[in-house]
């Protein structure tokens, strides 16, 4: 089982340019680089905001992950 130290010592990629998200990760002690996704956000026709947010977050993280094959996004 991974230890907290081993988790915090890894390098992560934050697929977001959000200063708030970056600040939260810094407060928790994570080492990361922020990479803004160029993916176009979509509004889901069913008008479910939770579904839209989930869909767009997966889209953005997959777009950034395609650029960083060995890192944790």
The per-residue pLDDT for range 3-52, each reduced to its tens digit, is 988 888 888 999 999 999 999 999 999 999 999 998 888 777 777 888 88
Class of residue 64 by CB neighbours under 10 A (exposed 0-12, middle 13-18, buried 19+): buried
Residue 52 confidence (pLDDT) = 86
Residue 66 confidence (pLDDT) = 94
User: Across residues 64-71, what is the average pLDDT?
Assistant: 92
The pTM of the full predicted model, rounded to 2 decimals, is 0.77
For the record, the structure tokens of 65 come out as 């992950």
Q: Which residues of 11-43 are buried (b: 16+ CB within 10 A; e: fewer)?
A: ebbbbbeeeeebeebeeeebebebbebeeeeee
Confidence grade of residue 58 (pLDDT, cut at 50, 70, 90): very high
Token look-up 């340019």 returns: 17
Residue 53 confidence (pLDDT) = 87
């Amino acid at each position: 089982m991974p230890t907290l130290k081993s988790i915090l010592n890894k390098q992560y990629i934050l697929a977001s340019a959000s200063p708030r998200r970056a600040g939260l990760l810094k407060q928790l002690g994570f080492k990361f680089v922020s990479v803004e996704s160029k993916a176009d956000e979509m509004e889901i026709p069913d008008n479910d905001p939770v579904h839209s947010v989930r869909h767009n977050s997966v889209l953005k993280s997959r777009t950034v992950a395609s650029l960083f094959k060995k890192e944790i996004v």
